[in-house]
Chains A and B, each alone.
Chain A
Amino acid sequence: MPDGTQPPTGRVVGDVIMKVENVSLSFGGVRALDNVSFDVREHEILAIIGPNGAGKSSMLNCINGFYHPQEGAITYKGKRRDTAKTFEAAEEGIARTFQNIALFKGMSTLDNIMTGRGLKMKKNLLWQALYYGPALKEELEHRAKAEEVIDFLEIEAIRKTPVGRLPYGLQKRVELGRALAAEPDLLLLDEPMAGMNHEEKEDMVRYILDVNDEFGTTIVLIEHDMSVVMDISDRVVVLDYGKKLADGTPDEVKRNQDVIDAYLGVSHD
């Protein structure tokens, strides 16, 4: 263990793979993010917490390239990300789930997960039109990969069900599956446990930890359930009104006076 940054979770954390530096984003007059900076290190689980409207989702949207911050820089694997297009995020190995489920409602679970494999499929239009030879072989290889994800998330039974008909908890799981199918290096999870009951949360936590553990995926998650956040994350970034309040291990954050004030609403002047 090189320095004091080694988290209590016992995970071996690598180098910084993404740097967020002085990022500011505003819509008209509203300042959604104000001079936010933090690092993400390889293989860690980083939680972003903060009250509603603190700019957590906006932060993920900036990393994704869905919003482009007016100021500051986001560097991912040595490349600037803040000006890149949304689809380029996926090409560079960033996958994402959403706060309000954003599945493809008209498609089956399997097809949804297969869309996550899309970037890895290379056969051109003509082979696809024939659905034969190399194209068929490719399709089947990726089907096998998709089935691994289905296996991993224990959703075999709903493979062919249109996702629009699934209950909320399962939809969340399928959405995670779609992101995992892309074999991302960095996984952004926007409130993966929102609206779930206790057991569903336990399942979800288990999947997140397994993904991190088995595939070495770096995870940035937004979550409101403090016990979960404190349990599984290596580091926590706290946002409030678009500004970063604190950044550190769960224990450090818990003791931080600004954070306590923001959460308990104490004013100190």
Chain B
Amino acid sequence: MDFLQAVFVTPFVEIWESPFFFIELVLVGLSTGVLYSLVALGFVLIFKASGMFNFAQGAMVLFAALTLVGLMEHGVPLWAALILSMAVMVVLAFVVERLMLRYLVNQEGLILFMATIGLNFILEGTGQLFWGSDVKRLEIGIPDKPFDLGPILLNTFDVTAAFIGAALVVSLAIFFQKTPMGRALRAVADDHQAALSVGIPLKTIWIAVWTIAGIVALVAGIVWGAKSGVQFSLSLIALKALPVLILGGFTSVPGAIVGGLIIGVGEKVAEGFWGPAFGGAIENWFAYMLALAFLVFRPQGLFGEKIIERV
């Protein structure tokens, strides 16, 4: 009884009584959600272009952030470190294509998925091998000051992060819809062989898309890292992008954004109001359970298309 009360009554009473706390939680959730969206975007990009579920996206975030911080620790100025990190991500895209992707053309999705789990471990290992595994602070000069917006407490950092995320999303959307490269990417995603046969250079496309995903990972890594330090847990946070994808659909850029925001807000609000009923720390699994419920009722996600199977 007490438990039911704590789940079905108390939280709503609390929301009613302290609406500003609720709104604050929503805003905090949104700012976390933007970060989830950033990570999820990287997944969507690669999935669209190669039908590959890139489990290593999280490790790429960690790897990119570690490279940047590592360079800065060696006295490289921020702008140079940024350029160098980007270069590293480009090189990574080349290496991944050269050593892995080209041997896996036309393999089943499951094999590709497992291969990226392997890549995930390689990147985590290499990143930490070079730059160490202790927590590093990333100072990139985003102001982190609280300010009031009416009765609600906000943070300049979160607002900046949201803007960065939005800018990235808009430019990606334009890239996919309006450029010839974007069209080629979508063709490749549909069918490798068919794309090859109309003369789309598969290898170039792959390198391009992994580069973009790498740069998205770098941005995500910078924002996450500046917020909570660069450390191993970054690649775990990236696991949160998986439920985001389930919600948004694997091939939908807007889906990744909306899904990220829903998960971000959902887990903060759930933790804030429902957490006490469950003894706290429900943030760890809330997103997955939400995604699971979604899978059962709407497997194609919010924006995905229903698939008609044929024989």
Contact = CB atoms under 8 A, between A and B. Distances in A.
Contacts of B310: 57
Nearest to A102: B311
A99 B308 contact: no
B311 A57 contact: yes
Contacts of A61: 311
Interface in B277-311: 308, 310-311
A98 B308 contact: no
B191 to A, nearest CB: 15
A235 B5 CA distance: 69
B248 to A, nearest CB: 23
Contacts of A57: 310-311
Interface string A59-95: 0010000100000000000000000000000000000
B308 A66 contact: no
B306 to A, nearest CB: 10
A267 interface: no
Contacts of B308: 27
Interface string A26-38: 0100000000000
A102 B311 CA distance: 8
A51 to B, nearest CB: 18
A227 interface: no
Nearest to B311: A98
Contacts of A197: none
A221 to B, nearest CB: 16
Contacts of B311: 57, 61, 66, 98-100, 102
Interface string A169-212: 00000000000000000000000000000000000000000000
A249 to B, nearest CB: 30
B278 to A, nearest CB: 37
A102 B308 CA distance: 17
A66 B311 CA distance: 9
A100 B311 CA distance: 7
Nearest to A98: B311
Contacts of A102: 311
A66 B310 CA distance: 9
Nearest to A27: B308
A66 B308 CA distance: 11
Nearest to B309: A66
A99 B311 CA distance: 7
Interface in A1-51: 27
Nearest to B308: A27
A187 B189 CA distance: 38
A162 B38 CA distance: 44
Nearest to B306: A28
A99 B310 CA distance: 11
Contacts of A66: 311
A192 to B, nearest CB: 15
Contacts of A98: 311
A61 B310 CA distance: 9
Contacts of A99: 311
A203 B311 CA distance: 25
A149 to B, nearest CB: 22
B309 to A, nearest CB: 8
A200 to B, nearest CB: 22
B307 to A, nearest CB: 12
Contacts of A27: 308
A28 B86 CA distance: 46
A57 B310 CA distance: 9
A57 B311 CA distance: 8
A27 B308 CA distance: 9
A100 B309 CA distance: 13
A27 B311 CA distance: 15
Nearest to A64: B311
A183 to B, nearest CB: 22
A268 B308 CA distance: 36
B178 to A, nearest CB: 29
B114 to A, nearest CB: 16
B304 to A, nearest CB: 16
A61 B308 CA distance: 13
A100 B308 CA distance: 16
A67 to B, nearest CB: 9
B163 to A, nearest CB: 40
Nearest to A58: B310
A255 to B, nearest CB: 34
B27 to A, nearest CB: 41
A107 B310 CA distance: 22
A46 to B, nearest CB: 20
Interface string A90-114: 0000000011101000000000000
Interface in B138-154: none
B300 to A, nearest CB: 15
A98 B311 CA distance: 7
Interface of A: 27, 57, 61, 66, 98-100, 102
9 contacts: A27-B308, A57-B310, A57-B311, A61-B311, A66-B311, A98-B311, A99-B311, A100-B311, A102-B311
Given A57-B310, A57-B311, A102-B311, 6 more contacts: A27-B308, A61-B311, A66-B311, A98-B311, A99-B311, A100-B311
- By Cβ-Cβ distance, the 9 closest A-B pairs, closest first, are A98-B311, A27-B308, A102-B311, A66-B311, A61-B311, A57-B311, A99-B311, A100-B311, A57-B310
